[in-house]
Structure 1
């Protein structure tokens, strides 16, 4: 009570807060007014004298009292939690709340509070009415499992929940907590799985970034080498052209000099003949001793020097263009090197393994072409041969367990076909033997003029605007990528499978009508054409 009274005395009449920096106003001002004519001012509080009227100062005494009060009596705004309902003089934290009284109590008032059973105590709360039945105004003590509602004893005995499955709040809370723990466990499991997936995706992203950086570095080095080789080739060709031009220029200059001498000789003879032709004395013309050296153009015969010059002129030919052809051959080698740099190896030499060929497939003599047929072939039915009539398949004899490789195929425009790669452990009979429809194979398929890529029965449809009948399959075994390309102009990427290959891979074909032909590598074929 005393502290409450003291608080009232220390409250500012304007902001209603305890004084923080009080000053003396009205009384001090009146005293100083009376001292205006005396020439000296004396403070009635501390008796200190001033020559000039002093400015109003802080009330140190009142300031100290207010400061000590604030230290020993914190303001209500600074008290956390719920306050006691009965402590009206100051804010005292409550320790319990009575549901019957709808009041919160501190330690002092809790000691004198009724201990009867109907006075149910709970944790301090400001919403005590929520813990009572809205109909009977009694404490909620039970839980109706059918209606999922908290009810009072009257609701249980005579109310609308009479006859329902009723549990105590503790029991119902225990059951719900058990369910929540089960849900929490499931959520924790899903969270762990999600975290593992996040780590897996992050690992894939890291590997993709590392691979991209490595590929970028490799391609940069490759093109740097290409530019260097092209520059060297250009310099070599230009140097050869310049050398030939100089040699030809020297030969032609010597020939021109000889022809100039011959021209001067002819001019001299022409002047002499003109002089003879202009003479009037016939005796002088006939007695001219040099007439035997003169040649008559109409009589032919020419002289030996002229013939020699002509032969020399014919011996001087144009630039030797063979060096240009050699340049194209060198460029072909560079292009071949580019392909090897990109794919790691030249085009893979694929041969079909007749021992795995279905009896409804015709295999060409060169083991490069598979053609579907309705006439059964008389091959022995062994464990390694594909058996199903509706899926005539064949594997390659060569297998790949490392490096980069590619191979091209030409496919007939009719029939249903699949082309891809598989493990040697693939089944040879039944649904699991179809390439693309198990976890041991990957393929591209055309059926009803629709193109798809398939792995483990998961189908991804490709664009409808595929028009070429030639395709490329690229394998990067170490990285774990199998890619399909349409060999149009320019070459078009269709799809890339990403996997961790665990066994060697074989090329695999399925032809139900039509045929598939394995082509030679484009780089090797182009080089052969140029050289030929």
Structure 2
């Protein structure tokens, strides 16, 4: 009711339309500026003027003021202006349309909508400028149905006599709701996918920040490490150069040379005096010369100088390159020992590969031969024939080394192998195939050998190994075995091209009789040793140190 009253107040009494440019005469009514101008013009010469709304008389041409409030009320809303849909019946001014009639193909404002036909065939929709798209291009009728077979919007004629005759059809509302339902399902899936993607992005961002933090910390640590290395190397350089300078000064024998130079001058003086005496013709003068005894006494002095000369050349005449090298190597060794700055993760034994006759400790850091079947599940990875086990960690790049304590053990094998090594049969022993390399001590004799592909090379010499050092250079294709003693002794180096990651491997038997009570022998040819493995891992640049305690 209030809306209708407001519309009546805003209507021009001349054109009966809502005024978009109203003016107000003295009587206070709203009239279009063009309309009031036209009315007043027709009243000229009639003896007065009157308001077209209330007929109030004015003797003179009435002045009127522009109404500033009404245009703000009737002005089109921003969103309506942006839509560009205007009433097609308002010719005097652009008025926003509120509905469009599909039958009339016209857009209507509020005023024209009130007088529009209410017949069912006059279908109203939201304001649109694409009214032709709402009708069938063939029959020029309103699209009311949806053909599910052809996925097309059709009119009633299309259903009855057109190309869609006999097809399954639905109302537009029904088809629209079905499509909306599908779209909502797609929307829900997309929302779920977006949430999952956001979680992944957040996880990756967190990982990136973690990696950046670790990289920053590691960079700072490495920079500090190399700064310290440079300082130590500079100190070592100064110390070695000082040793070289001191040894050089000792080797130059400056004092002896000066003494011999003085003696040479003295000998030259005596020689000149003797020559003068020999050239004298007066025998009495020659015989009366008081220094002739000293001139002739030279033998003992010459022998003494020669002995001193030989002694000095033997003891201090060389630069002592070996001593300088020892100082240099000792200094470098001290520096490198300081590089071990952090403790890394332990190398653990992989129980999934351990033989059922090999006992693994709870912390997976030790192993020993057992006569009792451990009843572990039979898997393709488990060794079935020999009491062997592999490390859980593999090595596929860089340089590594570790040390194994085998003291007190009578028979053992330590080495490396590919993960594709056989787990059953007589050729599954470390060293008895192309996929493993090992150092072994045979039971019952103090004999050591290295093996690969069933080729055994005996280690020469009478040795008794307590600690084995294994070094791996993956890129260079080298596995080296050392006896860790003073000095360290290289036993053998295998050279090849690695094609798989490498695992540390161990074969353990029972302890020797000197280290434990006697045990019954088993069918295994290595019975009689106990090798306890394991583990603390330290990292030195790319090096790995594995200490094995028995």
Residue in structure 1 matching 2:150, options 147, 156, 179: 147
* 2:221 is aligned with 1:218: yes
The one-character-per-residue Cα deviations of 1:352-376 (angstroms, maximum 9, x if unpaired) are 98981499xxxxxxxxxxxxxxxxx
1:190 corresponds to 2:193: yes
1:45 paired residue number: none
Shift of 1:327: 1.2
Query: Is the contact between residue 415 and residue 505 of structure 2 (CA under 8 Å) also seen in structure 1?
Result: no
The 5 A counterparts of 1:424-443 are: none
| CA distance in 1 between partners of 2:392 and 2:118 (Å) | 92
Aligned match of 2:317: 317
- Deviation string 1:372-403 (CA, Å, 9 cap, x unpaired) is xxxxxx99764347653999896446889xxx
- Compute the RMSD of aligned alpha carbons: 5.4
Q: What is the CA-CA distance between 1:91 and the residue it aligns to? A: 1.3
Deviation at 1:201, TM superposition (A): 1.8
1:412-431, aligned counterparts within 5 Å?
417-418=419-420
Is the CA contact (8 Å cut-off) linking 2:352 and 2:382 kept in structure 1?
no
2-structure distance, mates of 1:160, 1:138: 15
Over 3 Å counting, the alpha-carbon distance change for 1:246 and 1:508 in structure 2 is closer
Secondary structure of residue in 2 paired with 1:119: coil
Contact 1:104/1:125, CA 8 A, preserved across alignment: yes
Q: CA deviation at 1:130?
A: 1.2
Question: Closer, same or farther in 2 for the Cα pair 1:71/1:384, shift >3 Å?
Answer: closer
Displacement of 1:236: 1.6
Q: Does 1:267 align with 2:286?
A: no
Match of 1:33 in 2: none
Contact 1:144 1:161 in 2 (8 A): yes
| C-alpha separation in 2, matches of 1:406 and 1:310 | 53
3-state SS in 2 of match to 1:356:
coil
Equivalent in the alignment of 1:169 = 172
Query: Deviations for 1:47-74, whole angstroms, at most 9, x for unmatched residues?
Result: xxxxxxxxxxxxxxxxx97999988986
Q: Which residue of 2 aligns with 1:356?
A: 354
Q: Which deviates the most, 114-123 or 132-141? A: 132-141
Indicate conservation of the 8 Å contact 2:145/2:169, yes or no.
yes
2:203 corresponds to which residue? 200
> What are the residue-to-residue correspondences of 1:107-118 with 2, within 5 Å?
107-118=110-121
State the match for 1:383 in structure 2.
375
Q: CA deviation at 1:215?
A: 1.6
Normalising by structure 1, what TM-score?
0.55
* Aligned partner of 2:104 among 80, 97, 101: 101
Report the alpha carbon displacement of residue 80 of structure 1 after superposing the two structures with TM: 4.3
Q: Which structure 2 residues correspond to residues 11-410 of structure 1 after superposition, within 5 A?
A: 79-81=81-83, 82-246=85-249, 252-295=253-296, 303=302, 306-307=305-306, 309-310=308-309, 313-314=312-313, 316-321=316-321, 322-338=323-339, 340-341=340-341, 344=342, 356-357=354-355, 382-384=374-376, 387-388=379-380, 395-396=389-390, 406=400
Count of residues paired in the alignment? 366
Q: Distance in 2 between matches of 1:301 and 1:207?
A: 85
Unaligned runs of 5+ in 1: 8-63, 360-377, 420-427, 430-443, 446-465, 473-486, 496-505, 511-519, 527-532
Pairwise CA distance, 1:220: 0.5
How far apart in 1 are the matches of 2:338 and 2:300? 61
CA distance in 1, matches of 2:349, 2:120: 94
Between the aligned partners of 1:350 and 1:176, the Cα distance in structure 2 is 60
Alignment partners' CA distance in 1, 2:249 and 2:379 = 73
Relative to structure 1, the CA distance from residue 294 to residue 117 in structure 2 (aligned partners, 3 Å threshold; closer, same or farther) is same
Alignment correspondent of 1:454? none
Whether the aligned pair in 1 keeps the contact of 2:20 and 2:75 (CA below 8 Å) is no
Rate the CA distance shift 1:225–1:84 in 2: closer, same or farther, 3 A: same
> Offset of 1:189 from its aligned partner?
1.0
Distance of aligned partners of 1:183 and 1:325 in 2 relative to their CA distance in 1, 3 Å threshold: same
Q: Which residue of 1 aligns with 2:7?
A: none
Give the direction of change, closer, same or farther, for the CA distance of 1:310–1:353 in structure 2 (3 Å limit): farther
- Could you tell me how far apart the structure 2 residues matched to 1:349 and 1:73 are? 84
**Deviations along 1:474-523, whole A, 9 cap, x unmatched?**
xxxxxxxxxxxxx999x99x99xxxxxxxxxx95779xxxxxxxxx9998
Cα deviation for residue 272 of structure 1 reads 2.5
As a proportion of its length, which structure holds more helix?
Answer: 1
Q: Give the CA deviation at 1:471.
A: 8.0
After superposition, the Cα gap between the structure-2 partners of 1:381 and 1:316, relative to the gap in structure 1 and judged at 3 Å, is closer
Distance in structure 2 (CA, Å) of the matches to 1:131 and 1:354: 73
**Cα gap change, 1:235/1:383 in structure 2, threshold over 3 Å: closer, same or farther?**
same
**Distance in 2, Cα, partners of 1:76 & 1:358:** 86
Measured in 1, the distance between the counterparts of 2:392 and 2:105 equals: 88
Asked if structure 2 preserves the Cα contact closer than 8 Å seen for 1:95 and 1:106, the reply is: yes
Counterpart contact for 1:357–1:385, Cα < 8 Å = no
2:20–2:93 CA contact under 8 A, matched in 1: no
Q: 1:358·1:387 contact (CA, 8 Å) conserved in 2?
A: no
Please state whether the residue corresponding to 1:294 is helix, strand or coil.
helix
Tell me the SS of whatever aligns to 2:296. Answer: coil
Task: Give me the whole-angstrom Cα distance separating, in 2, the residues matched to 1:194 and 1:248.
Answer: 77
In 2: Cα distance, 1:347 partner to 1:162 partner: 78
CA contact (8 A) 1:347 1:407 kept: no
Contact 2:147 2:170 in 1 (8 A): yes
